[in-house]
Structure 1
Amino acid sequence: MSFGEPNNPYNAGPPQNQPGQPGYGYPSQAPQGVPPQGYPQQPGYGYPQAPQGVPPQGYGYPQQPGYPQQPGYPGGPGPRVASMGRRFGARMIDGVIIGIVYAILVVAGVAGSADSISDCDPSSAAYQSCVNDASGDFAASFGAVLGVLWVLTLLYEWLLIALVGATLGKLAVGLRVVKADTGQKPGLGSSFIRWIIPIVGSFACGIGQLLVYLSPFWDKSGRQQGWHDKAAGTMVVQN
């Protein structure tokens, strides 16, 4: 049977491509700017491209988390919470500084009272009265020394924390006190609250003050805030 016979139903000959109909073989070249119609596009090899503004997720080590995000520290990790060892060291340095000032004042007061007692004549009938007066002067001088020491402690702790953010002891070990929600210096109000709470605790034979300074050990917030820090809204951080 041949394709040339007139009655042959297959006389149409080999199939021809009709206009608008897809042909066999490779698809025809698509017009410029129009993607070719054919096999579905396979994703390319290599690393996937992330959309603009989105950080790529690729191979390698995952990003390590930084410090816990704290309120008031937008766009970056939170501060490094001060260790209790450094805080203890800062407190010891401050204690030594205040102790030296206290010793100087006491020695000056005692020396003045001793001179007053030495001026009393033991053979005089007024000797006992002279000694009593000298003892009264010593008590007054000692009270004045305590008052001056209290004022100096107030100014030392309160003003330095408020205006600088650290006492000399904290500066020596690289610590500072900041507002827990902003990271700024505490200011006069918060610094005074932070100072007065341990002082009030000291009236109970010093036990309350000791508990205040130990209270960061029991803080479960991760900031190691003492009771005085929580009341003042502050925290101690490392530089």
Structure 2
Amino acid sequence: MSFGDPNNPYGTPPQQPAQPGYGYPQQQPQPGGYPQAPQGVPPQQGYGYPQQPAQAYPGYGQQQAYGGTPPYAHWGLRFLATLVDGLVFLVPYAIVLIGAAAGENAATILSLIGGVAILAVAIWQLIQEGKTGQTIGKKALGIRLLRESDGRPLGVGMAFVRRLAHFLDSIACYLGWLWPLWDAKKQTFADKVCGSVVVKG
């Protein structure tokens, strides 16, 4: 008696094609040590795939990393920011003026309070500009003071040196203050000496 195939009298079923499984060679790793993604499916970032490069410092630094031109702040924005910073001192300065017009005892007290307030505001503005690149005026106008080399804030010490360097902007008939009007990087003389730029953002 035979089953199925007449040439197979013992009825042994025909062998099926071998299926891949245990004991069979697995897919070879691709060059670089990363597994190959299924055909037609784009590789996703994650385990086993190359990671994306870290993003550059936001704003100025990022544009520098990709070869873009930093958005330098024009002279008008810088002037308005300086004007706003000046208005911040208006209240403590008014206290000093009121003290000067008051009686002898009141004048001494109010002048002392106003002087301390002016000094405190000036120090606070300097610290903010050094650490974040923005004073109250710069923040209001959306501009920022940064190092030209890497797009980072100047630091408090260098921000103080830059303020002293504004002396150079004044000695030549205040030409340095107007220099950003035609300078390619919108820099004053103090900016060029300290390696700083003022940018939007």
Deviation at residue 161 of structure 1 after TM alignment: 0.9
Report the Cα distance in structure 2 between the residues aligned to 1:179 and 1:169, rounded to whole angstroms.
19
Distance 1:76 1:218, change over 3 A: closer
Pick from 59, 79, 103 the counterpart of residue 94 of structure 2. 103
**Cα pair distance change 1:99/1:209, threshold 3 Å:** farther
CA deviation vs aligned residue, 1:3-29 (integer Å, no higher than 9, x gap): xxxxxxxxxxxxxxxxxxxxxxxxxxx
Give CA deviations for 1:164-188 in whole Å, capped at 9, x if unaligned.
2111111111100010110011112
Contact between 2:147 and 2:153, CA under 8 Å: does it hold in 1? Answer: yes
**In structure 1, distance between residues paired with 2:192 and 2:172:** 16
Other-structure match for 2:150: 182
Stretches of 4+ moved more than 6 A in 1? 206-209
Pair 231,207 (structure 1): closer, same or farther in 2 beyond 3 Å: closer
2:177 counterpart residue number: 213
Q: Secondary structure at the match of 2:198?
A: strand
Q: Equivalent residue for 2:191?
A: 229
Matched-pair identity in %: 28
- C-alpha separation between the residues in 2 aligned to 1:234 and 1:107? 39
Shift of 1:104: 2.3
Paired residues, what number?
Answer: 142
Give 1:216's aligned amino acid. Answer: P
- C-alpha contact 1:109 1:145 (8 A) present in aligned 2: no
Task: Note closer, same or farther for the CA distance 1:79–1:217 as it changes in structure 2 (3 Å cut).
Answer: same
Structure 1 runs not aligned, ≥5 long: 1-68, 118-136
Distance change >3 Å, CA 157–CA 209, structure 1 → 2: farther
Note the 1:164-179 alignment, pairs <5 A: 164-179=132-147
Deviation at 1:116, TM superposition (A): 4.0
Give the structure with higher Rg (CA).
1
Paired residues of 2:125 and 2:136 also in contact (CA < 8 A)? no
| Counterpart Cα distance in 2 of 1:196 and 1:153 | 17
Shift of 1:154: 3.7
Per the TM alignment, residue 86 of structure 1 is displaced from its structure 2 partner at its CA by 0.9
Distance 1:212 1:100, change over 3 A: farther
Quote the RMSD (CA, aligned, Å): 3.5
CA separation in 2, counterparts of 1:196 and 1:227? 11
Given the superposition, is the C-alpha separation of residues 225 and 183 from structure 1 closer, same or farther in structure 2, using an over 3 Å criterion?
same
Deviation at 1:159, TM superposition (A): 1.1
Q: TM-score, length-normalised on structure 2? A: 0.57
Change in CA separation of 1:145 and 1:232 when aligned onto 2, cut-off 3 Å:
farther
